Amino acid sequence: MNPSDFPPDLYQSLLRPLLFSGRFGDPEQLHHRAIHLLEWLDREQPTQQGLRNVLSQTCCLSDPGLQQRLWNLHFPNPIGLAAGFDKDGVASGVWSALGFGFAELGTVTRHPQPGNPQPRLFRLPQDRAILNRMGFNNQGAAALAERLRTKHDRGFSSTIPLGINLGKSKITPLEEAADDYAASFRLLQDLGDYFVVNVSSPNTPGLRSLQATEQLEPILAALQAENQSQKPLLIKIAPDLEWEAIESVLALAQRHHLAGIIATNTTIRRDLLQTERLTATGNLITEEAGGISGAPIRDRSTEIIRFIYRQTQGDLPIIGVGGVFTAADAWEKITAGATLVQIYTGWIYEGPWMVKRVLAGLSEKLRIEGIPTLQDAIGISAHSPTPLTPA
């Protein structure tokens, strides 16, 4: 299917203007309502199963050329849900019906925590971006483990890989971070297909300092010591790191036999934005804490993907995330070196049919370029002469 064959998207023309109008609640309230609906759809009653089948027919696209095998896992397509949407894994059985090839649950922390004070989630429509300072609000690793184990005991088996994103509890001192991450991993390691060490969110005090070698090394060592199941372990980095800092992270990743890297998390930069003030608060955007996701970080994320691919000669799998709205955005990240791509903000702006449109576009791009599979497209533009820009 060619992307141009899609009918006009009712989400963008009708639903999104209504949802963004504020009549039905602020962004976080709408997120909770969406999660509650998805949680209901995740149940095993005949009505929900029937609706999931309808969703699959509407939102899914199957193309053998887009399938990949990575970490001994089958990915039916390269488009995944980024961490942050389904923090507590309440909709883990629905994401495949919405067309995703994999989904990442979390960020989850060892201790349950409410997150930062509200309001803490804001749309920036002028920039096609989101500002969030959620602060890892979640029910805790034990609750997620119990939920996933209960589903497993009832016979649930996900048709797509499920990753779990691990963060540090806010109450845990930085010097005890390794034990905190290891405790969460200990509870969950048999329940996720791959795991991500999140040391790059700007919304937990001091967390980004854990990207420094002397702080990160004991965390990775503790996790690999616990990793009896030999689950793929990845690290998620910030787009604001200097090139030397990224090189240091890559050296640690290789030393501790990490399975991959996720590039990138949200940015604390504000110079990329057109928005000057938050409508919800009236404050200057430069005065508002939090990380920016969406279109403003697209280019920086892709630049970092290309850098990592070059530095590792393509030997370290990369999940690219940041500013993906279209098939062209996904193609740019894949040809720069990303094996897989994640979306979140783009999905909020583009709607539930976005995944199918992106996959159709990728299939069409392979056909036009005469490339047999997406695997053959990974990194094909990574060595084009593009100078590095300062972080």
Instruction: Kindly report the pTM of this predicted structure.
Output: 0.95
Beta bridge partners of 277: 284
209 flagged as catalytic: no
> ω before 17 within 30° of 0 (cis)?
no
Mean pLDDT of 95-103: 98
The yes-or-no verdict on residue 166 having pLDDT over 90 is yes
At the second CATH level, the architecture of 3-272+281-377 is Alpha-Beta Barrel (3.20)
pLDDT in tens, 278-327: 988 999 999 999 999 999 999 999 999 999 999 999 999 999 999 999 99
Q: Return the pLDDT at 154.
A: 87
Which residue in 20, 198, 244 sits closest to 126, CA to CA? 20
Q: Return the pLDDT at 384.
A: 75
- Residue 155: which pLDDT band, with cuts at 50, 70 and 90? confident
- Residue 14: which pLDDT band, with cuts at 50, 70 and 90? confident
Q: Return the pLDDT at 71.
A: 98
Mean of the per-residue pLDDT values of the chain: 94
Give φ, ψ of 164 to 5 degrees.
-130, 125
Among 169, 184, 201, 363, which one carries the catalytic annotation?
Answer: 201
| Contact assessment for residue 128 and residue 344, using Cβ atoms and an 8 Å cutoff | no
Domain boundaries along the sequence of the chain:
3-272+281-377
The yes-or-no verdict on residue 344 having pLDDT over 70 is yes
The yes-or-no verdict on residue 6 having pLDDT over 60 is no
The yes-or-no verdict on residue 4 having pLDDT over 50 is no
- Pairing relationship of beta strands 162-166 and 102-108 according to DSSP bridges: parallel
Write the DSSP symbol of residue 119. Answer: P
The yes-or-no verdict on residue 97 having pLDDT over 70 is yes
Beta bridge partners of 44: none
Q: Return the pLDDT at 2.
A: 56
Q: Return the pLDDT at 1.
A: 54
Helix, strand, or coil (residue 367):
helix
Torsion of CA 193, 213, 186, 266, to 10 degrees: -50
The yes-or-no verdict on residue 391 having pLDDT over 70 is no
Largest CA distance in the chain: 55
Distance of alpha carbon 324 from alpha carbon 299, whole angstroms: 10
> Is the dihedral angle over the CA atoms 264, 237, 381, 355 positive or is it negative?
negative
Mean pLDDT of 139-146: 98
pLDDT in tens, 210-247: 999 999 999 999 999 999 999 999 999 999 999 999 99
Residue 47: which residues within 8 A CB-CB, separation 6 or more?
A: none
The yes-or-no verdict on residue 157 having pLDDT over 90 is no
The per-residue b/e assignment along 193-225, b for 16 or more CB within 10 angstroms, e otherwise, is: bbbbbbbbbbbbeebbebbeeebbebbbebbee
The yes-or-no verdict on residue 127 having pLDDT over 60 is yes
Mean pLDDT of 85-107: 97
Q: Return the pLDDT at 156.
A: 83
The yes-or-no verdict on residue 75 having pLDDT over 70 is yes
Q: Which helix (H) or strand (E) holds 379?
A: none
Q: Return the pLDDT at 30.
A: 96
